[in-house]
Structure 1
Amino acid sequence: MSTKHRLKSHFDRAAGYTRDSSNPLFALVRPPWLFMAPIVALLLFMFVGPMLAIVVFSLQSGNTIDPNPLHWTLAHYAEIVTGMATGTGVYGQVLGNTALVSAATVLATLVVSYPAAYALARKIKRYKVVFLLLLIIPLFTSVNVRVFGWALFLVENGVLHSIFNLVGIGQYPSLLYNRYTVLFGTTYVYLPFMLFPIYLSLLTIDDVTFEAARDLGAGPLTIFRKIVFPLSMPGVVIGSLFVFVLSLGADVEAQILGGGSVFTMASNINYSFGYSQNWPLGSAQAVGLLLITIVAGVVILRSLDLREIASRGESR
């Protein structure tokens, strides 16, 4: 047998063995698992690894890692949990501010986004691409740049002050450094993360559904209440999850627009790692924020039928 035929026979035997579905080892190196390998490796290296480091650091008594578990402590967690449970001290205030800002941001973005998403999906035909580009372009700009732009617009003797002077309004209360301005900033920054899931969800509703409802005598309000809103709920839920999780980590908005008047969990973590140089305390707060995010995500996603959503995409 020639070398060529020998190599071909070896290759054919190896290929046949790889196709053997009864071998779990080779099943792991076939698509789709093979296609998932790069992103899994990236997540393990860039997310799981740093999270494990933060968890270990949160159990230390100082800014160095002691490899002996007998010297680890839960004192930082006890301090945080006690303050949040009693609602007193800095941690009670931080928890209240964070929950209020996140919940209010979800509500505000939903109220603004749903009509716009409905109009883009069902009503606007001409210039739809232009409107979508106007909504997407801000995402290409850093959050810091956008928030600093609003700060320069609202600051005393800034752009807004000049506009008010032109119309004869000389005195007005400062719009910076209060809770409502922080809420305005988070709503502006995270608005696309609510709008686009709702928009995509509305696009999955077939026109035939609307025609059938009209033929059966349903009016616009009934169609919205019985068809549009229930079928767009996946987009509402996913958008709410995105906005809630992202606003939990709203640090730039709280610092620049709030000016330290509104302390959130994210800004408190930044303070612990930066100004106070208390890395274990900052790590414990980061772990707490991560746990809140995971619990919120699980609770919200449990209300979705992900298989039904996936089947919608396959049917189109």
Structure 2
Amino acid sequence: MDGVTRASGGPRRPRPEPTSGAGRPGGAARPARSRGRGRARAHGRSLAGWAALAPAGLWLGAFFVVPVALVAQYSFATRDLGIARVVLPWTLDAYRLAVDPAVLPIFWRTAAYSLSATLACLVIGLPLAWFVARHAGRWRLVLLGAVLVPFWASHLARIYAWKALLAEDGPVNRVLGLVGLDRPGGLLLTDVAVVVGLTYGYLPFMVLPLYVVCRRFDPRLLEASQDLGHGRLGTFVRVVLPGLAPGVVAGSLLVLVPSVGDFVTPALLGGVNQLTFGSVIDDQFRGGNNWPLGSALAVLLLAAVAVLWVARGRRAREVL
């Protein structure tokens, strides 16, 4: 029948042709409006993000960028010995003094103190963080609070307390005397006293990042390592340390960077024979009235810390 209709040239029902979105009424306008709304939402989210960052940006600009810029400006200035103020013209004399070979022992001493304190914090903080995170149970928050208790007191007051503890007639020297290890004058004004003070002051900065990674550590990895025949030492080296590496890197940075610039601890516990970069900078701004030299030393110290931060930051990203 259909063949007869086609042969006779009768009316045929037209087949619907496929149409795109542009062929429908309003088909082109609707996607355009959708794209416009998407761009508007993305723009709004971008503005909201910048608005949220604005307070922190203003704070950093006012209290970090501007002071650092002023210090950098002073580092190129000339010191007027007559009136003890900074005047023009700008020179590099302060930097020449700052990189003098006589300053190198101070630089190496600062690095030795900072690295020793970081290592001591790691040795003390890792077992402590592991115990609190894995075995403290309901006492976990109490022990974390005990770690943070020293921050409730002034840093200066805590350093003066260590002066009393490490003095010749202090309890530390008396305990050492029971085993014949006491020394005249006590441990005060020694390298050991400086490292002890730095370790005590920055230990919580090591414990908290390690505590976080210890809490996230999967204990089934320990069982798997033991099933594969590794002992405790092998498990610690092959499984635990790689798993805790992000916390180790973060804690090391948090201890190393501030201890490099600490000047209160070396000045009070180490004395004049244990000068560090921070102590010398403080002396130039306060007693020496040599702001250009102090500023140059501060800029060099900031540059060294920045390089260290970037280098260890890359390592942290590799670990993470």
TM-score (norm 1): 0.80
Distance 2:309 2:182 in 1: 45
What is aligned with 1:108? 120
Distance 2:156 2:193 in 1: 15
Distance 1:170 1:42 in 2: 50
Amino acid at match of 2:167: V
Q: CA deviation at 1:164?
A: 7.5
Distance 1:271 1:101 in 2: 19
Amino acid at match of 1:172: R
Q: CA deviation at 1:305?
A: 2.4
What is aligned with 1:173? 184
What is aligned with 1:21? 39
What is aligned with 2:135? 123
Distance 1:49 1:97 in 2: 30
Distance 1:96 1:146 in 2: 26
Q: CA deviation at 1:222?
A: 3.5
Distance 2:224 2:168 in 1: 56
Q: CA deviation at 1:283?
A: 0.7
What is aligned with 1:299? 311
- Spell out, residue by residue over 1:261-289, the C-alpha distance to the aligned partner (whole angstroms, 9 max, x if none): 20000000000000011111111111011
User: Once structures 1 and 2 are overlaid, which stretch shifts more, 169-178 or 279-288?
Assistant: 169-178
User: Once structures 1 and 2 are overlaid, which stretch shifts more, 221-230 or 175-184?
Assistant: 221-230
Q: Is the 8 A contact 1:18 1:27 kept in 2?
A: no
User: Once structures 1 and 2 are overlaid, which stretch shifts more, 156-165 or 57-66?
Assistant: 156-165
What is aligned with 1:152? 164
Which of 57, 73, 79 matches 2:97? 79
What is aligned with 2:86? 64
- Spell out, residue by residue over 1:76-111, the C-alpha distance to the aligned partner (whole angstroms, 9 max, x if none): 112212x2xxxx32x122111101111111111111
Distance 2:181 2:93 in 1: 52
Q: Is the 8 A contact 2:97 2:293 kept in 1?
A: no
Matches within 5 A, 1:193-272: 193-214=205-226, 216=228, 218-272=230-284
Q: Is the 8 A contact 1:198 1:235 kept in 2?
A: yes
What secondary structure, in the 3-state scheme, does the structure 2 residue paired with 1:21 have?
helix
Change beyond 3 A, Cα 1:295–1:161? closer
Q: CA deviation at 1:246?
A: 1.2
Distance 1:189 1:225 in 2: 28
What is aligned with 1:48? 65
Change beyond 3 A, Cα 1:19–1:29? farther
Segments of structure 1 that go 5 or more residues without pairing to the other structure are 1-15, 310-316
What is aligned with 1:279? 291
Change beyond 3 A, Cα 1:61–1:100? same
Distance 2:86 2:41 in 1: 46
Distance 1:111 1:237 in 2: 13
- Spell out, residue by residue over 1:25-77, the C-alpha distance to the aligned partner (whole angstroms, 9 max, x if none): 756422x33222211111111111110111111111033354xxxx2111111
Q: Pick the structure with greater CA Rg.
A: 2
Change beyond 3 A, Cα 1:92–1:168? closer
Change beyond 3 A, Cα 1:97–1:64? same
Amino acid at match of 1:173: P
Matches within 5 A, 1:304-315: 304-305=316-317, 309=320
Distance 1:237 1:153 in 2: 31
Coordinate RMSD, CA, aligned? 2.8
Change beyond 3 A, Cα 1:155–1:19? farther
Segments of structure 2 that go 5 or more residues without pairing to the other structure are 1-33, 80-84
Distance 2:232 2:165 in 1: 41
Change beyond 3 A, Cα 1:222–1:154? closer
Q: CA deviation at 1:194?
A: 1.2
Change beyond 3 A, Cα 1:147–1:18? farther
What secondary structure, in the 3-state scheme, does the structure 2 residue paired with 1:127 have?
helix
Distance 2:134 2:176 in 1: 38
**For this pair of structures, how many residues does the alignment match?**
281
Q: Is the 8 A contact 2:284 2:293 kept in 1?
A: yes
What is aligned with 1:6? none
Change beyond 3 A, Cα 1:35–1:208? farther
Q: Is the 8 A contact 2:163 2:188 kept in 1?
A: yes
